[in-house]
Structure 1
Amino acid sequence: MRIKMKLRELAHSRAGDKGDISNISVIAYLEKDYALLEKYLTPERVKAHFVGIAQGEVLRYALPSIGALNFVMQRALGGGVTRSLALDAHGKCLSSAIMTMEIPDDTDPS
């Protein structure tokens, strides 16, 4: 059985926005952990994690030289900053929300 851990144990995150698009970066604390992020943070898993928020396509861009993944979520901000009734129309809290994702600990020998 693999032990699961929260993403926040391996990485930190930042979020930005442009219109109705949320841009979330996930950056590994340690270079050795980037492979785990790349393996388990797929666009499909991120979209499933943000079910009800990410209404459009989720794209992933890998930046291995800095140990980061960048996710671009279409139609994720309720129409955009000037149209959304959300308390966080910019989607800045989405960087905290992605940190709650669980991923298997591939270093667990069992």
Structure 2
Amino acid sequence: MKLREIAHSRTGDKGNIANISVVAYHDKDYSLLLKEVTVEKVKKHFSEVVKGEIIRYELPNISALNFVLYDALGGGVTRSLALDKHGKSLGGHLMDMSIKTK
């Protein structure tokens, strides 16, 4: 299944750092997010875009994960030649990641 079937995302950016939140639609799916949306899998999913470290923060009170992606925006808004300099499409791309349900 695609991640978007059980969660949605919000993104932010500052310089060359992107921030992606993954929020479960239903609290019951938070444990699946914890298991399936790991730093390793996210790094692999963004292997062509993110050149730096990825840190995952867990927010159980709101059934969410927050990922901070370093060296992720081609130098940042004023330096990148990328069409989406702000990284807003990164959240959509993460929602397209396949996850296992069992």
Q: Alpha carbon RMSD of aligned pairs, Å?
A: 0.5
In the TM superposition, residue 84 of structure 1 has moved relative to its aligned partner by 0.5
Residue 92 of structure 2 is matched in structure 1 by 96
Residue 60 of structure 2 is matched in structure 1 by 64
**Matched residue count:** 102
TM-score with structure 2 length normalisation?
Answer: 0.98
Q: Aligned with 1:98: secondary structure?
A: helix
Q: Aligned with 2:30: secondary structure?
A: helix
Structure 1 unaligned spans of 5+: none
TM-score with structure 1 length normalisation?
Answer: 0.91
1:41 maps to 2:72: no
2-structure distance, mates of 1:42, 1:89: 25
1:31 maps to 2:30: no
Which amino acid counterpart does residue 48 of structure 2 have in structure 1?
G
| Identity rate, percent | 63
Structure 2 unaligned spans of 5+: none
Q: Of Structure 1 and Structure 2, which has the larger fraction of its residues in helix?
A: 2
Which amino acid counterpart does residue 50 of structure 1 have in structure 2?
F
1:82 maps to 2:78: yes
2-structure distance, mates of 1:84, 1:68: 29
In the TM superposition, residue 79 of structure 1 has moved relative to its aligned partner by 0.3
Q: Aligned with 1:93: secondary structure?
A: helix
In the TM superposition, residue 105 of structure 1 has moved relative to its aligned partner by 1.1
4+ runs deviating over 2 angstroms: none
